Amino acid sequence: MIRAVKGTRDLLPPDTAVWNRVEQIARDVFRSYNYHEIRTPILEETQLFARGVGNETDIVSKEMYTFDDHGTMLTLRPENTASVMRAWIEHRLDQKPGVQKLYYIGPMFRRERPQKGRYRQFFQIGAEAIGSESPFVDAEVIEMVMELLSRAGLSGANLIINSVGCPNCRPAFVEKLREALKPVANSLCEDCQRRAETNPLRVLDCKIPEDQAAINALPSILDNLCEICEPHFHAVRSYLEEREIAFEIRPRLVRGLDYYMRTTFEVTHGSLGAQNSVLGGGRYDGLAASLGSNLPTPGIGFSIGEDRLVMSVDQTPDAALDLYIAPMGDAALHHAGLLARELRKAGASVEVLAGGKLKRAMELANKLGARFALLLGDNEIAAGTYTLKDMKSGEQTPVTKTQLLQRLKPNV
């Protein structure tokens, strides 16, 4: 038997109804903040991620699916911010007025160890606001993502924020960090020993429990922010407080990608165990330049791990079927087909049983989770009324076609 590739999975009904509900909530929230959908290719040139995400990140050095396509190295996208910025540069979206607000929903690919809520093909819901360096935009993006999580039904989420400085102040902090790591590096995990030399800031992102005591004793970036980054971070906090959005400041919070600067944030949830992050995001004002753009292009965004979000919200799918029609006889079957067509055009979900006994039809209607069942025979057709059964209460009521449409609301 051929099975799904390790780290991938099939999403089946009724679970897909929960996914659709979460995605529709996301689209509704994005629309209310004037974000518009962008769809980028799943395949990109490998250099996009090497330059944008960073050669020393785990994503680029360990996790990407990369192959040679007749002399061009291509990669299945491991994240989408670099792809969105590539599209922004390629299509000159800077020529459009105002801040460009873009969102995406789709699959990403990383060859990491599969674990709870983490897969090699996983799905992200993300958004990018490109063209403003204002802390007001930072706060609005965070407000939007917290609203999205709330509407999706995620209660008890924890917002964590930090600033990772900028090219003016971060280099000096990185050197201070490198010096502080020298006496303790040998006691850290193998990855952190390597990062201590190549990218000391990434040490702060380590999730190994045994390393945390040493990491917590390292210098704090918040004590080393410049005269631009410090007031920027203060303003972000003030805007969040005005909106009554609770947050925790965590100086060790850094994002795993090199293009982040200033504001970074993460949302965690207790239902996900030790690896409890639902989403992460932050400001990436230097990303466009790393991809070859000469335009000053500030931006901020986030990506939600949709697999992990779906795990954390109500798994009860919405009613999948409004009406199950059980026609008795050939004439009733023809009538049922025309009636179902009319009801579907009005927005109802309808299933018709072709043949079979009434008892079997009611059993199937119940198993399918239908709200109502319609009993249809020669007498009902002649009278112009149908027998409608409420599958939850068992009540049976004679209805006309007009009354039937009314009963199927609000779904219709």
Which range among 62-66, 73-77, 206-210, 308-312 shows the weakest confidence by mean pLDDT? 206-210
| Between 311 and 238, residue with greater pLDDT | 238
- pLDDT-derived band of residue 256, with 50, 70 and 90 as boundaries? low
pLDDT value at residue 384: 83
Mean pLDDT of the chain: 87
Instruction: With a cut of 80, say whether residue 62 has pLDDT above it.
Output: no
Which range among 172-176, 345-349, 358-362 shows the weakest confidence by mean pLDDT? 358-362
pLDDT value at residue 273: 52
266-314 pLDDT, tens digit each: 998 876 555 578 899 999 988 888 888 887 789 999 999 999 899 888 7
pLDDT value at residue 295: 78
| Between 210 and 231, residue with greater pLDDT | 231
Instruction: With a cut of 60, say whether residue 142 has pLDDT above it.
Output: yes
SS3 letters for the chain?
Answer: CCCCCCCCCCCCCCHHHHHHHHHHHHHHHHHHCCCEECCCCCEEEHHHHHHHCCCCCHHHHHHCCEEEECCEEEEECCCCHHHHHHHHHHCCHHHCCCCEEEEEEEEEECCCCCECCECCEEEEEEEEEECCCCHHHHHHHHHHHHHHHHHHCCCCCEEEEEECCCCCCHHHHHHHHHHHHCCCHHHCCHHHHHHHHHCHHHHHHCCCHHHHHHHHCCCCHHHCCCCCHHHHHHHHHHHHHHCCCCCEECCCCCCCCCCCEEEEEEEECHHHCCCCEEEEEEECCCHHHHCCCCCCCCEEEEEEEHHHHHHHCCCCCCCCEEEEEEECCHHHHHHHHHHHHHHHHCCCCEEECCCCCHHHHHHHHHHCCEEEEEEECHHHHHHCCEEEEECCCCCEEEECHHHHHHHHCCCC
> Mean of the pLDDT values across residues 106-134?
89
> Mean of the pLDDT values across residues 337-361?
85
pLDDT value at residue 258: 63
- Please list, in sequence order, all residues whose beta carbon lies within 8 angstroms of the beta carbon of residue 68, skipping any fewer than 6 positions away: 74
Instruction: For the chain, give every domain's residue range.
Output: 15-169+225-312, 321-408
pLDDT value at residue 319: 62
182-216 pLDDT, tens digit each: 888 788 888 888 888 888 888 887 878 888 888 88
> Mean of the pLDDT values across residues 306-333?
83
- pLDDT-derived band of residue 105, with 50, 70 and 90 as boundaries? very high
- pLDDT-derived band of residue 332, with 50, 70 and 90 as boundaries? confident
Instruction: With a cut of 70, say whether residue 412 has pLDDT above it.
Output: no
- Provide, rounded to the nearest whole percent, the portion of the chain with pLDDT above 90: 42
pLDDT value at residue 410: 59
Could you tell me the fold of the domain covering 321-408? Rossmann fold (3.40.50)
pLDDT value at residue 246: 95
Domain range 15-169+225-312, CATH architecture: 2-Layer Sandwich (3.30)
> Mean of the pLDDT values across residues 166-192?
86
